[in-house]
Amino acid sequence: MHHDDFKFEPVPGLPEALPDDEHILWQGRPDAMRLAREGLKLNWVLGYFAVLTIWRIGVSSTTVPISEAIWHGVPFVLAAAVAALLIITMAYVQARSTVYTLTNKRVAMRIGAALTMTLNLPYVCIANAAVQQRGSGHGTLSFELLGDARLSYLMTWPHTRPWHFARTQPALRAIADVAKVAEIFAEAAETRVATPQVTRVSPGADPIAAE
């Protein structure tokens, strides 16, 4: 029987129904294998175990025949396989539980496997965006937030721009056709920021028009 862990969502990937003046422009989620390689550093982990395996065989070959020394590297190969399986499983779970959404007003990110949360990033709160594209067209679209806005790197990882700890930058990781998604974001953000926003004030106060 098909089971949807997020059946309670009125709109997939969003915690509540959209207002009448807001609509979805794009939705997607990370590619699990690319998230494993790019976000969870699968290749680095396998490279580490490969170095350990070669080192162990090299050391053993100084005291025993090479045919026997090769067997001394088998435990490291098995450890690498277990580590790879764990990382790929984690990436699959993360990808399955993630939904990235671009609307005409904001970026929404439903993230988290064990503890699910939704980040809402209005375009007026985003200072800059950066695109990192791979040869396949997959890549990462990250957002630099305005002012004193702060996010926890640990709470939002791996949906963050790598190595930006002091000012965490939330990111759409390992998404397909990232250039097209970046274009959709740029057009929507430009339109949104250029639209005057009116702020309600109490009677007798000076009217204030937001940007």
Is the domain covering 100-192 a CATH 1.10.1060 domain?
no
The pLDDT confidence band at residue 95, using thresholds 50, 70 and 90, is very high
pLDDT at 2 over 50: no
**Pairing assessment for the beta strands 24-28 and 126-133 based on DSSP bridges:** unpaired
Q: Where in the chain is the domain with CATH 2.30.29?
A: 100-192
Query: Which two three-digit tokens encode residue 2?
Result: 């098909």
As a whole number, mean pLDDT of residues 140-149 equals 87
Burial label for 33, CB within 10 Å (0-12, 13-18, 19+), is middle
End-to-end CA distance of the chain: 50
Residues 6+ apart with CB under 8 A from 77: 49, 53
pLDDT at 65 over 70: yes
**Pairing assessment for the beta strands 171-175 and 139-145 based on DSSP bridges:** antiparallel
What's the pTM value of the predicted model, to 2 decimals?
0.82
pLDDT at 115 over 70: yes
| pLDDT tens digits, one per residue of 28-47 | 999 999 999 999 999 999 99
What's the pLDDT at 211? 39
